Amino acid sequence: MALATKSQLLELAQEIQELTGQLVAHLSDAGKKEPNFTAESTEVPSDDDYNALRDRLCDATADLEQLVKGPKTHLRDYFSTHHELAAFQVAFDFEFFTAFPRDGSIEIGELAQRTGLDEELIPRVMRLLCLHHIFEEVSEGRYTHTHGSITLAENEGLRAAATYQLDEYFQAASHLAPSLRATISQSPDEPKVTAFRSAYGVSLFEFYARHPERGARFARAMIGVSQLNNDFNQLLGCYTWDSLGAKAIVDVGGGNGHMSVALAKVLKYARFVIQDANEGMLNQGEMSTGQDLKNRITFMRHDFFTPQPIFGDVGAYLLRQITHNWADEDVIKIFKELAHALENCDPSTPLLINELIIPEPGSRSRFEERIGRQMDIMMLVALGARQRSRAQFQTLLMKADPRLKITKVHDGIPMGILEVHLARG
C-alpha cells in the first residue's frame, strides 16, 4: 500500500480556508461588511478576536507564498522593494493622494497639471502603485481612488507617518551596516555614529531642531501612529487606573502630555504631572489643555537623568515610549532615578513602562513579532537604541536597583505595559 505523503502546501491551503471561514463568520456576526479594494470599502474591525484570526491568516498566507515562490524568486522580489518605496515617495512628494478627486476619476494630463510631475513619468509610478491596490487604472491613463489610496488621502496623520518613514528613515536605514562598522574603530569620547547621523551629519534630535517643519511632521506622524494602533484604549485597558483615586500620575518624558490629557478626560479624580526636558512641547501642551482640566494637570520641566522631584503621594510613574530611545546604560540611569523616587512613595506605587515589548521568538504570531523587530531596527537606525523584551527590561531594572521587579505584564503589540514595583525588605 502506498504511503500517503503529507503536503505542506495543501495543509497551509486548508488552514487558510479554515481561518478565512472563521474570519468571514466573525465579520458577519459583528454585522460588518467584507472588505474590498474600492474606495467605498468599510474598514476592517480591530477587536482582539479579529486581530488574532488576521495574524494567523497572515502567517499562513505568507508561508504559502514563500514556499510556492522558492527562495530565489522570493528574495529577488523582496530585495527590490526599495524601488517600490521610491515610487511611493514620489506619489507622496508630488501629493498625488490629495490631488485626486474624492469621487470619479482623473486623467494623466490633469494629474500632471495638479502635481507638477512630468506626464510621461506619472504612469510609470502609478502602475506600480496600482499593483498594490493603491489607485486603480480604470481605462488607459485614467485613475480612481481605491480603499488604500482614499485612506491615505483622508488621514493626514497616516500620511505624515508614511512620509517620515519614506524620507528620513528610508535614507538613514541604508547607512546601517557602514555605521555599525564605523563604531568598531570609534573612540568612546566621539559622538556615537548612528545610521541617522551617518546619513544626515547630525543626530535625529538635532535634525528635527534644525528642520522644524520636519519636526512638526514627526509630531503629526506620532499622533497618526498612536491613533492607528489604538494606543490610548490599550493604555487605558492595561491598568486599573481607578485604583489610584486622586493621587498624582507622573508622566515622565510626557512630551506635550497628550496621553495624560486623554487619561484625565476619563479618570475624573486623578491628578497629572507632565514632565519633559523640551520646554516647547510643555508649552504647547499647556496652551492646548482645556480650562476644565487645568486644576488637575501640571506641566513641569524635568530632565529624567536628574533626581525625580515628585514623590510621596504619587499614584504611578508612567514612562511611555521613553526607553526605546535610549541605549542600555542610559535606561539604567533613568530607572535608578525612579527607584530613588519610589523609595519615598507607598510600596504599592508602580512604575508603568508603556512600550512595545518584543515577544520571545515563537511566543506570538510572526506577523506581530515582525512589527516589533522592525521597530527594534528602526530604533537602532535612528538613535543607536532598541526595543526590548520583558527579560531585557528585567535585566536593566535589576542593574538599576535589584529591588525593582516586574510584577505584571500586559503584553500587547504594538504597545504593552510592564508594571514594576520596588520590593521592600
Ligand X SMILES: C[S@@+](CC[C@H](N)C(=O)[O-])C[C@H]1O[C@@H](n2cnc3c(N)ncnc32)[C@H](O)[C@@H]1O
- Candidate list 53, 145, 166, 255; residue touching ligand X; CB under 6 A: 255
- Candidate list 320, 364, 386, 388; residue touching ligand X; CB under 6 A: 320
CA dihedral of residues 62, 64, 67, 72 (deg, nearest 10):
-40
Give every strand in the sheet of 105-107, ordered side by side: 105-107, 142-144, 136-139
Between 89 and 308, name the residue whose CB sits nearer to ligand X: 308
Between 255 and 416, name the residue whose CB sits nearer to ligand X: 255
Between 44 and 262, name the residue whose CB sits nearer to ligand X: 262
CB 298 within 8 A of CB 285: no
CB 419 within 8 A of CB 407: yes
Give the Cα separation of 328 and 398 in Å (integer).
12
Binding mask 212-251 for ligand X (x = CB under 6 A): ----------------------------------------
Residue 353 backbone phi and psi in degrees, to 5: -100, 110
Residue list 178-207, contact with ligand X (CB under 6 A): none
- Span of 13-21, 54-62, 81-89, 274-282 interacting with ligand X by CB under 6 A: 274-282
- Span of 124-132, 148-156, 213-221, 318-326 interacting with ligand X by CB under 6 A: 318-326
- Candidate list 148, 224, 254, 416; residue touching ligand X; CB under 6 A: 254
Does 281 sit near ligand X (CB under 6 A)?
yes
- Candidate list 129, 150, 152, 259; residue touching ligand X; CB under 6 A: 259
Active-site residue list: 324
| SS3 label, residue 96 | helix
Rg over alpha carbons for the chain, rounded to the nearest Å, is: 24
CB 107 within 8 A of CB 141: yes
- Span of 62-70, 107-115, 303-311, 385-393 interacting with ligand X by CB under 6 A: 303-311
Between 117 and 282, name the residue whose CB sits nearer to ligand X: 282
- Candidate list 96, 164, 304, 393; residue touching ligand X; CB under 6 A: 304
CB of 280 to ligand X, least distance (A): 9
User: Nine-digit cell at 250?
Assistant: 507622573
- Candidate list 121, 246, 266, 277; residue touching ligand X; CB under 6 A: 277
CB 367 within 8 A of CB 334: no
Does 23 sit near ligand X (CB under 6 A)?
no
- Span of 102-110, 160-168, 237-245, 270-278 interacting with ligand X by CB under 6 A: 270-278
- Beta-bridge partner residues of 320: 354
CB of 251 to ligand X, least distance (A): 7
Give the Cα separation of 60 and 287 in Å (integer).
49
> What one-character-per-residue DSSP string does 270-323 give?
-EEEEEES-HHHHHHHHHHS-GGGTTTEEEEE--TTS-----SSEEEEEEES-G
Q: By beta-carbon distance, which residue lies closest to ligand X? A: 255
Between 247 and 258, name the residue whose CB sits nearer to ligand X: 258
CB of 277 to ligand X, least distance (A): 4
CA dihedral of residues 379, 385, 398, 407 (deg, nearest 10):
-10
Does 279 sit near ligand X (CB under 6 A)?
no
- Candidate list 111, 244, 263, 322; residue touching ligand X; CB under 6 A: 322
CB 214 within 8 A of CB 196: no
CB 27 within 8 A of CB 45: yes
All residues at 6 or more sequence positions from 376 whose CB lies less than 8 Å from its CB, including other chains: 358, 386, 387
- Candidate list 55, 276, 369, 411; residue touching ligand X; CB under 6 A: 276
Q: Which residues bind ligand X (CB under 6 A)?
A: 253-255, 259, 276-278, 281, 303-305, 320-322, 325
